Amino acid sequence: MFIQEFRSQFYEIIKQKKHALVLVNLDVDAVCACKILLYLFECDHVKFSVLPVSGWKELRDTVEAHSDQNKMMVLINCGGTRSLIDTITPPDDVVFFIIDSHRPFDLDNVFDDERVKILAKREEIDDLNCPPMNEIYYPSDDESEEDGNSSDSAVERSPTKKRNRMADIEQRVAKKQRRARWNKQRGDHLWNYYENSWYSVSSALCMFELAHDLSKSTAELLWCAVVGVTSQYVDGLITDERYISTCVDRLRVHVKRFNHLADSQKNLVDRLRISFDKELALPLYRHWSLYSSMEHDPSIVCRLRLWTQKGARDMHHFLADLGLTLGDCQQLFSALSSEQRKDVVARLQTNSDKYKLTSTVFGSFIASAGYCNSFNAADFARALGVQLEVACTGESAESNFFSALSTMSAFLDTRQKRRNPKLVQCGIETCKTFLEAVVREVYVAINQNHVLPTGAFLLVYMSQGPDLRFFTGRHSIASFARFLLRAFVTASANKFNGRPLVVAVPLSGAYDGWYEVLGIMPLNTADMDGHNKSFIGRAFDRVCDRSSVRVERDHFDSCLIRLKAEDRGRFFNALQAVLETVA
């Protein structure tokens, strides 16, 4: 059941119950949404427990363990895409509230009026194209009873009236045909509905709008929403147009409001200030040297083909053309004088057309507080994403979640002198090593021809190595995959423009002998209805239905699955067959 009034139908109900269990997926958007929701709960003295969940199995176990104590469960960025009642089988008195940016929602969840409540904006519900209920669920009980009655009566009457019996049989045949027709129609509806998977508006933004509705929004919460939205953009989950329209239509208004507030209270230096401005699309350049940042930016790497020997030379030419000295580029960007900084940014912006560099600049949000360095929302999202997936402390995914949450809290702490951006800095340092690993792996894969064009799709097996510890989650594998696909298409002179890429990463530890398999859409995929829709998840599902490979479809994103190493040949053959029939 869809809920459109977040305040009255969701928040007020939980507020009355005074106790909620919040289950959070491990992604940046979910962390931000969780942070906002916890702030609201704290304001209203609602008691809560927060548990991170990494997959369906863990979700089921957690719900099972806690269903005795908690009757209100809030699911953030998880649980919407499969039938909750069937997969989890919770006790009858448990109510689920789903705040999920994964699409499409499972129809069982959509049509469950009692126990599953999905938060969705009105304008989005029409976009979803949910088939009407009577075409998915056959009004079975009346029909079957009728069926039974008619057959009974037919037996009774059979000796007396033959004509009547004929009519009965005709009726039954007609009914059967009707049923078959209906079944076929239902299949079509389901196929159309579930064909693609995509991501919708950020959950953090939804929660921020709820906070605004409750008159509890602050600049800090706005920053959470901004980071949530930007993380979707950085991960390539939403299209550029959608990102820009979200920023302009739904976020900029609030930014202006809070800036106005901050301006009227000039004496508070420590206040968090957020501004919306043009930014260079180079990763982490505010905290790195310009040269390293350019070396790790996909568009520059692909444009100059930095994996070749000529590439490095071209890079120096490029910089010379821009009029930047190597000395300036190779020192920390923050160490340049402010004129130089402005100059560099302006040169890059104006000269990008000459080098056919698209998207060197994008609209983004920048936060600054006190006298410390300012942070770009994209860098912030990257740092959190890496922190969530790369175990810096060598501990579990759950503790990574809480360290990301505390990073966010420390950065946003409004109490005087407790604001602490050190943890973010730390995350950014980890992010640098991660980006270095990505670039290294991409170069290896391109130079040693690891990408196998197997007919309908491209396939890469990542090789064992020390860098593998970075590639454990969706964010990291997807960044690698998108980078690699772009580089590979450039390297092969656009020959493989229309092929999706599948990356297989060998796992270690408890899942030794398994592969994490992620598929991404071809580069030339046109946006459908303004979404980055992907049919890969559906294709994986069909492969699993058709053949008996050992696969775990545990992840909330259907494009990411776990595959037993011995079955990989059979799996990819079957995937080939499926993708060929689709194409």
The region of 49-57, 134-142, 249-257, 493-501 touching other proteins under the rule CB under 8 A is 49-57
Number of residues that bind other proteins (CB under 8 A): 24
What is the per-residue DSSP string for 245-304?
A: HIIIIIIHHHHHHHHHHHHH-TT-TTS-EEEEEEEE-STTGGGSBHHHHHHT-HHHHHHH
* 21 close to 70: Cβ distance less than 8 angstroms: yes
CA angle 374, 376, 378 (to 5 degrees): 160
C-alpha distances out from residue 574 to 267, 398, 429, 571, 578, Å: 66, 35, 41, 5, 6
- 570: CB partners within 8 A, 6+ apart: 547, 549
> Least Å distance between CB 22 and other proteins?
9
Q: Of 1, 8, 57, 65, which one interacts with other proteins (CB under 8 A)?
A: 65
User: Distance between CA atoms of 538 and 313, rounded to whole angstroms?
Assistant: 44
* Cβ-based nearer residue to other proteins, 69 or 359: 69
Nearest by Cα to 401 from 25, 44, 22, 19: 25
And the tokens for 391? Answer: 């175990």
**Judged by CB under 8 A, does residue 562 bind other proteins?**
no
* Cβ-based nearer residue to other proteins, 192 or 406: 406
State which of positions 3-22 bind other proteins (CB under 8 A).
18-19
Identity of the residue numbered 566:
E
**Judged by CB under 8 A, does residue 420 bind other proteins?**
no
**Judged by CB under 8 A, does residue 125 bind other proteins?**
no
The region of 66-74, 150-158, 230-238, 305-313 touching other proteins under the rule CB under 8 A is 66-74
> Least Å distance between CB 50 and other proteins?
4
* 111 close to 88: Cβ distance less than 8 angstroms: no
Q: At what angle do helices 377-389 and 474-491 cross, to 10 degrees?
A: 110
Identity of the residue numbered 463:
S
> Least Å distance between CB 268 and other proteins?
20
Query: What is the side-by-side order of every strand in the sheet holding 560-564?
Result: 451-454, 457-461, 501-506, 514-520, 560-564, 551-552
Q: Of 194, 402, 443, 461, which one interacts with other proteins (CB under 8 A)?
A: 402
What is the per-residue DSSP string for 139-176?
A: -HHHHHHHHHHHHHHHHHHTTT-HHHHHHHHHHHHHHH
User: Distance between CA atoms of 170 and 164, rounded to whole angstroms?
Assistant: 10
Q: How many CA atoms lie within 13 A of 131 on its CB side?
A: 17
Helices (H), 26-118: 28-43, 56-66, 84-88, 107-110
**Judged by CB under 8 A, does residue 42 bind other proteins?**
yes
Q: Of 12, 112, 398, 527, which one interacts with other proteins (CB under 8 A)?
A: 398
The region of 63-71, 313-321, 450-458, 526-534 touching other proteins under the rule CB under 8 A is 63-71
State which of positions 135-154 bind other proteins (CB under 8 A).
none
Helix (H) / strand (E) containing 24: strand 19-25
Q: At what angle do helices 28-43 and 219-234 cross, to 10 degrees?
A: 160
Q: Of 83, 259, 374, 409, which one interacts with other proteins (CB under 8 A)?
A: 409
**Judged by CB under 8 A, does residue 216 bind other proteins?**
no
**Judged by CB under 8 A, does residue 41 bind other proteins?**
yes
* Cβ-based nearer residue to other proteins, 292 or 403: 403
Q: Of 399, 433, 492, 573, which one interacts with other proteins (CB under 8 A)?
A: 399
Q: Of 47, 176, 354, 440, which one interacts with other proteins (CB under 8 A)?
A: 47
> Least Å distance between CB 407 and other proteins?
12
Q: Of 8, 49, 245, 447, which one interacts with other proteins (CB under 8 A)?
A: 49
The region of 40-48, 100-108, 137-145, 454-462 touching other proteins under the rule CB under 8 A is 40-48
**Judged by CB under 8 A, does residue 478 bind other proteins?**
no
> Least Å distance between CB 228 and other proteins?
19
> Least Å distance between CB 70 and other proteins?
8
The footprint of other proteins (CB under 8 A) covers: 18-19, 38, 41-42, 45-52, 65-66, 68-69, 396, 398-399, 402, 405-406, 409
